[in-house]
Amino acid sequence: MKRAEMMIKDLIKKNRSVRGYDISREVADEELREMVDCARLSASSVNMQPLKYVTINTPEGRDKIIGQISFAAKLSELHLPISGTEPMAYIVICQDENISKSGTGYHKDAGIVAQSITLAAAEMGLGACILGYFSPKEMATSLRLAGNLRPLLVIALGKSIEDIRIVEIEEGESTDYYRDENGVHYVPKRRLDDVIVEWE
């Protein structure tokens, strides 16, 4: 039991938001299908399962996505990803409104399946970045999706070329991620004792 717990914790630590990828490493259709299968098996509100997935790993498909998404809002001056380090695949998480038209009811589900997808990617030795800053309407039009499919999240995927490190911070310190002069990316995390709330 302890070994299994360590394994998932290691994957969670490894599962950081990646903004630079090795473009010589393709992401295979089979790998994308396995990630979607992990999403499919994840929890869903009242087991409605209204989420559908668009997998993209071709040059034409990647070109349709890259111009519509934004990486690393806190590091906008770097214009990430740098040319030649773009993601090699994407999974677009969509809500099928023929199953449910709820505007916000399945945003939690989208977060749950996004975590499942990125953890599966980490287990495969791949990196990922969950992206929500895009126009769902423009994304759907670009991908020529049926009118019942509304994009909720985009997950960028590929082999990471980044050095990403977690650093613990004291209460009151900034949670903004940052990079040093060598390009090392630091992700501040609140301490365990600072996120556990005492109750009476």
pLDDT digits (tens, 9 = 90+) for 102-134: 888 889 999 999 999 999 999 999 999 999 999
Res 105: pLDDT: 81
pLDDT, position 74: 77
Structure tokens, 93: 């998480």
Q: Could you tell me the two tokens for 143?
A: 């991908």
pLDDT at 40 over 50: yes
Edge-first strand order for the sheet with 164-169 is 164-169, 185-190, 178-179
DSSP summary character for residue 78: G
The strand pairing partners of 169, in sequence order, are 190
Q: Is the pLDDT assigned to residue 199 strictly greater than 80?
A: yes
Residues written for the chain: 200
Is a pLDDT exceeding 80 seen at residue 3?
no
6-26 residue pLDDT tens: 589 999 999 999 999 999 999
Work out the average pLDDT over 68-87. Answer: 88
Q: What is the pLDDT of residue 4?
A: 54
Over the Cα atoms of the chain, what is R_g? Answer: 18
Per-residue pLDDT at 1? 45
C-beta separation of 142 from 68 below 8 A: yes
Mean pLDDT of 33-44: 98
Please report the pLDDT score of residue 198 as a whole number.
94
Is there a contact between 63 and 90 (Cβ–Cβ < 8 Å)? Answer: no
Rounded CA separation 58/22 (Å): 15
Instruction: Choose the weakest-confidence range: 38-47, 72-81, 114-123.
Output: 72-81
pLDDT (tens digit, 9 = 90+) per residue, 144-193? 999 999 999 999 999 999 999 999 999 999 999 999 999 999 999 999 99
